Structure 1
């Protein structure tokens, strides 16, 4: 009897349990990843799964390249600006067809993986439910460049199957593969056995090679040994799997000493990161590579790399440095001590780019707790800041709150390692608790923590705070890791200092903005009003758009919205002159035309070098009428009680501040109960490449489609959220919604 799979097909290998084990579910996930790679024709792929709280992605399984190449993204917050997170968050396929596009759109990813390749990230979805992301790699599109003598020979061999795929897979096939993964993950969750990220990423072995008989294998070895050049083979992890006698002699070693090792570990003169860098480039790009290097004492060698899905074949031959292609030579020398691994260099560069994008203190904290913990294998992290001669705990992850409270507010002379490193400026590393206890006997053991790195945060020579990483097992902290952590501390300190300055300026700007706009909107019987304001420039939460709702008497109000040319501090200063002037006219009971005329003359007399658009609406709640006049401002949108909405056609007036004799015609409209009047600035609707009339009609359509009845506050939030999600806004946004209650 055959078992029936959840998709309805008969299982060809006999019956299986109704509920697959976790191992079987992960095996099926692996099979679907391999099928996706085969169907799309890519050479590497990975599956990221959402964590149980659906706030982060974790790398679950990878094939085609070593998992360590994606170490910066073993764990990432869903808000991270990387392809996989963007694909899931925005529910769209992210397609990066060449390295230049990767660098332009995702500079952090380009720094962390600086090799010639293309990548696609597809969200794994079923309906609107996201399960994770599918990441696929293939060779990037070719770019012209200088060619050395050996490079020409590599090109003459013709394109390999991998290079033939340089145009990339079909986007529809990528989407289809993601859908297959989504159905599997949905069905698994439906049985109560959701597939969640494992404790560490898994790597799939290369597909099995064609079986060769003993005679064929010996003949191949004999063939290679007869060649005048040396030959060797490395697997995807960079380990020697075969070395010819000639190659071993040229490398200055023996075959037994090389097999199973990596060149940059077993050959001292290959410890320079350039060797591993060339190897990584070949594995990720699947393109032949060439470089030269000098082996001790003074022998120049040429290395030709030919990658495929199982590893890299290398041809080694003596060469003359004068004949090497320009830029290919890399002279290396034996160095004392263990050098920093290239992967760690790229990891620091990745985190440096991420820290440079952090704006506020919250951004820095999120980056440290959500990206640095998995990147460095730490279990806990705490960030402390020096404020007014004391230490303050500003963020932590993994620590018990009670433990950290002991250090919150302690003076900078307190005898604790997190405080001591700030005084000395020198990081402290403790591989075991015994070593930590010898230095600080008063400290008590902490459950599950066995090694610590205490890093001082010094910015511009001034102590900013300290950062503490703790690990769940003893850790030796070799010299190269200490260098990495020390460099990281400097980057964190600079980012934290910038963030605190930003937060200070943000607080100042918000205080100023609050003074320029109404503290609240007045309550009037039968009137429901809501307002929103968003500046366009991050870092200066202030701009030139303004609004006001003025209570004239119990049945009369004036609604005003305007836009000062520009969106900066000067524009905001002009708002501080214009809005009070118009408000005073409203309180005096002026008509819209008269109020705009007086504001226009004020601006002409001031001659600020800026123009102002403005819309003024006089609301008569007793008669259910409104009189409107505009000074070059976008027309309002009105939603009638029956639900249909339209853009009002008002006679356009001239912008304020141009002509002292300008006139502003008025228009009277009915305001029956159930009407909604929307006043807004152009930032709400203006989008590059979209006609402004079409954009305003789109706003009317949104109002017509909105649920009724609905509080104006909720409707305002929905309109602003829609504007944020549909396009990048480059102008300030002000919105004033006025709803006439049906009970009025």
Structure 2
């Protein structure tokens, strides 16, 4: 493949590297060339947490990647999965893409093979993406895996070195590297190649990978009805309006993605039918054009003259992708992020404000690119005046397209325009004839909204409105559910002499269901306390309600009994008397701070992590009893251990250590290492320790379980 793979064109006078990523060009090009890939891309982290942006691209137009110019880590794509899982992700065929990443498959409905691998050094910098034609093996070879991972390691070292002496700045826009063919180029070849093409019985064109015409033979110009000069440097569907059809552009996109020959027929007015065949490779596309016979045509010709210019196929695919993504947006914040990160770039806008209707006013739900003073003026503007474009569009339900400042000032002479904006699309968000809000997209230059763009934006507004309506309902339910759960957890932990404490509850990130995780610290006397942690089965209101009952029962039994075993036994019998279908794990630890002793009993709960002064922390060896709610005659063995000054005890629920593809013993050992401290017996930043424990949770995607952590540290 070394004879026809991509390499780098040295930047010319107008090719300044504004993004500061030129040091990554050569490793990317070499990897693409050595592995025979069609397309290579590098994503790097953004300044916004958990966000990655396209930095470098080779082998395809950047327009093909518009839906993924900026990608939140939570978005399911091969690249984000590679970053989260820190491993190679291989998609061997189109069906695998449909099964694993339906949103990507909708936006790019072509067969190809894809590899994504993480670029990780001192931090998770990003991901490397490679694409091959569908003729490539569906399985990665050992050589390919080794090359991809070694390239990622080199890229990570380069970014580490680059940022060691300077502040990291993400690239403002992706750089597209030129692909050229590595063939010996003798001086006479240019005229000879032109003479060769002129002698062919078919017309010949050459396109670069961006779709622009780089060569036209005389016969091709004659067949297309334009001069060679008129066609050179243009996109065919722009210089030849009769090719401005999604079907034809789709064939071009298919050729670029699959590197397979494609063919189609088109009618050149008034009645000349032409046959096109595209032959792609890594440097561009060769096109042969020949007559395909005369077409019948009054009807066809008339349709060609009168039909409106169809939508760009890339925009249609973007719309399908965005529609799919909007159905997955759960909260209002998710909708705002999706619109800002994917929809705004797709339409070349530079700023966005998304309003929600609340009590007759427009409230800002989210924005990008708007100055703070403008937001303060816009937030809470009344609907009944109709003076501003956003209020007018919301109340009338009709979109507004303002292509220039002059047009804005003529229609709204008394309204202050945000600085730096020169065109606006004001889209009412309406469902069931009820206004939900308004979406305003702003442009930094005058913008002509053609009929195609207006139609797509209007359709998109309907999808955004539906997503926002669902998201508002979700947010209300989420706040109610988690408000209930927070009300059932302690507001604050009691202060006890000689004991430092800290606790944290972290809800799951997948779905809005609340969990049954709970913790508590109960003062038994001036020198003693009881620490409790547990997890009720299920993620719903019933689980949270039962959690509240168990916590109340434990508090009552803690002051009326003499041992942890008896507390759990009584709580177990109460749970059975409630005739609930749910079960629960629980751990009860009695702390005697005066005697420096502790004893605990466990009802099927994971062992605590215990660190003694000067010794590494490790899981405590315990003998747990049955879960609560299973056996009315269950016994709960007790475990005794000392509480010397400097002892650190960590109680937690299973969400901290259990996850798919994670070994429990390894997870416990990893979290135990987070608890080791340099100064045993001295005050410790327990909140920082909890943060360290939570950071050690493997990032395997949306977290389906809640996490509760309770830390106890004895002082001298």
Report the TM-score when normalising by structure 2: 0.84
Kept after mapping to 1: 8 A contact 2:397/2:430? yes
Distance 1:110 1:579, change over 3 A: same
**Which residue of the other structure, out of 589, 597, 602, is the alignment partner of 1:625?**
597
Q: State the SS of the aligned residue for 2:571.
A: helix
Residue from 181, 196, 202 that aligns with 1:220: 196
Question: Which secondary structure state, in structure 1, belongs to the residue aligned with residue 382 of structure 2?
Answer: coil
Check 1:337–1:36 CA distance in 2 against 1; reply closer, same or farther (3 A cut): same
2:147 alignment counterpart: 173
* Cα deviation 1:499-538 (Å, max 9, x = unaligned): 2222211211121102222222111111122222334463
What root-mean-square deviation, in Å, do the aligned CA atoms of Structure 1 and Structure 2 show?
A: 4.0
Counterparts of 1:395 and 1:166, CA distance in 2: 43
Summarize the Cα distance change of 1:140–1:640 in structure 2 as closer, same or farther, 3 Å threshold: farther
Q: Which residue of 1 aligns with 2:311?
A: 340
Aligned residues: 690
CA distance in 2 between counterparts of 1:131 and 1:543 reads: 33
Q: Residue 435 of structure 1: which of 400, 407, 411 is its match?
A: 407
1:578-597 equivalence runs, <5 A? 578-597=550-569
Compared CA separation, residues 482 and 676, structure 1 to 2 (3 A): same
Match of 1:488 in 2: 460
For 1:535 and 1:51, how far apart are their aligned partners in 2? Answer: 26
Give the superposition deviation at 1:347.
2.3
* Cα distance in 2 between the residues matched to 1:728 and 1:195: 28
Report the Cα offset of residue 139 of structure 1. Answer: 1.9
Match of 1:571 among 531, 540, 543: 543
Shift of 1:420: 0.1
> How far off its partner does 1:83 sit?
5.0
CA contact (8 A) 1:378 1:472 kept: yes
Corresponding position of 2:64: 69
Q: 1:300 to 1:29 in 2, by over 3 A?
A: same
Structure 1's 169 and 295: CA in aligned 2 closer, same or farther, altered over 3 A?
Answer: farther
8 Å CA contact 1:537, 1:567 repeated in 2: no
Deviations 1:645-701 (A, max 9, x none): 343333332222233222223333222222222222333222335554555455445
Name the counterpart of 2:248. Answer: 275
- 1:357 pairs with one of 328, 353, 356: 328
- Alignment partner of 2:133 out of 129, 135, 139: 139
Pairing 1:410–2:381 present = yes
Q: How far apart in 1 are the matches of 2:166 and 2:691?
A: 37
- Encode CA deviations 1:403-422: one digit per residue, 9 max, x unaligned: 34333323212211110000
Indicate how the Cα distance of structure 1 residues 629 and 401 shifts in structure 2: closer, same or farther if over 3 A, else same: closer
Q: Give 1:636 shift.
A: 2.6
| CA 278–332 in structure 1, closer or farther in 2 if over 3 Å, else same | farther
Map 1:48-59; keep pairs closer than 5 Å. 48=43, 59=54
| Contact 2:66 2:342 survives alignment (8 Å) | no
**CA offsets, 1:598-635, max 9 Å, x none?**
11221222221222222222221111112222222223
- Displacement after TM superposition at 1:201 (Å): 4.0
Matches for 1:118-517 after TM superposition, within 5 Å: 118-122=113-117, 127-128=121-122, 134-140=128-134, 170-178=144-152, 197=171, 201-204=175-178, 206-207=180-181, 210-211=185-186, 213=189, 216-217=192-193, 220-221=196-197, 223-225=199-201, 232-241=205-214, 253=225, 256=228, 259-260=231-232, 261-267=234-240, 269-291=242-264, 303-315=276-288, 334=304, 336-414=307-385, 415-444=387-416, 446-517=418-489
Asked if the contact 1:118–1:137 (Cα under 8 Å) also holds between the matched residues in 2, the reply is yes
Specify whether residues 542 and 698 from structure 1 end up closer, same or farther in structure 2 by C-alpha distance, changes over 3 A only: same
**C-alpha distance in structure 1 between counterparts of 2:221 and 2:439, whole Å:** 47
Structure 2 Cα separation of the partners of residues 739 and 194 of structure 1: 38
User: Which whole-Å CA distance do the structure 2 matches of 1:34 and 1:373 have between them?
Assistant: 30
Q: Which of the residues 519, 522, 534 maps onto 1:562?
A: 534
In structure 2, what is the Cα distance between the partners aligned to 1:591 and 1:306?
Answer: 81
Deviations 1:318-360 (A, max 9, x none): 889xxxxxxxxxx996362211101111222333333333322
Residue 406 of structure 1 aligns to a residue whose secondary structure is helix
Q: What is the deviation of 1:273?
A: 0.7
Alignment partners' CA distance in 1, 2:407 and 2:154: 52
Deviations along 1:576-617, one digit per CA (max 9) or x if unpaired, are 222211110012244222212211221222221222222222
Is residue 2:42 matched to residue 1:42?
no
Q: Distance in 1 between matches of 2:703 and 2:591?
A: 31
Instruction: Select between 355-364 and 290-299 the one with higher mean Cα deviation.
Output: 290-299
- What are the equivalent positions in structure 2 for 1:74-113 lying under 5 Å apart? 74-76=69-71, 82-83=77-78, 95-113=90-108
**Is 1:737 aligned to 2:711, yes or no?**
yes
1: distance between equivalents of 2:422 and 2:458?
20
Comparing 675-684 with 542-551, which one deviates more in the overlay? 675-684
Provide the rounded CA distance (Å) in 1 between the counterparts of 2:47 and 2:205.
45
Alpha-carbon separation, structure 2, partners of 1:214 and 1:632: 79
Distance 2:270 2:212 in 1: 24
Question: Secondary structure of 1:558's match?
Answer: strand
Structure 1 residues 395 and 663: CA distance shift in structure 2, 3 A? closer
Specify the alignment match of 1:682 in structure 2. Answer: 654
Cα 1:300–1:366 change in 2 (3 A) is same
Q: Distance in 1 between matches of 2:126 and 2:620?
A: 46
In the alignment, structure 1 segments of 5+ residues that lack a partner are 1-12, 14-19, 145-164, 321-330
| Cα distance change on mapping 1:588 and 1:499 into 2, 3 Å | same
1:715 aligns with 2:686: no
SS in 1 for 2:57: strand
Residues of 2 paired with 1:304 and 1:570: CA distance? 64
Structure 2 residues without counterparts, runs of 5 or longer: 1-9, 294-300
Q: For the residues of structure 2 that align with 1:718 and 1:71, how far apart are their CA atoms? A: 36
Alpha-carbon displacement from aligned partner over 1:152-192 (angstroms, at most 9, x marks no partner): xxxxxxxxxxxxx9979723333444555566666666787
Give a deviation string over 1:406-457, Cα, whole Å, max 9, x none: 3332321221111000011111011112222221121345543221111111
Q: In the superposition, relative to structure 1, how do residues 609 and 624 fare at CA in structure 2: closer, same or farther (>3 Å)?
A: same
Q: Which residue of 1 aligns with 2:642?
A: 670
Residue 647 and residue 27 in structure 1: after superposition, are their counterparts in 2 closer, same or farther (change >3 A)? Answer: closer
State the distance in 2 between where 1:48 and 1:693 align. 34
Structure 1 residues 668, 494: closer, same or farther in 2, change over 3 A?
Answer: same
Structure-1 separation of matches of 2:277 and 2:38 = 20
Matching residue of 1:149 = none
CA distance in 2 between counterparts of 1:370 and 1:293 reads: 36
> Would the aligned equivalents of 1:141 and 1:166 in 2 still touch at CA under 8 Å?
no
Report the TM-score, using the length of structure 1 for normalisation: 0.81
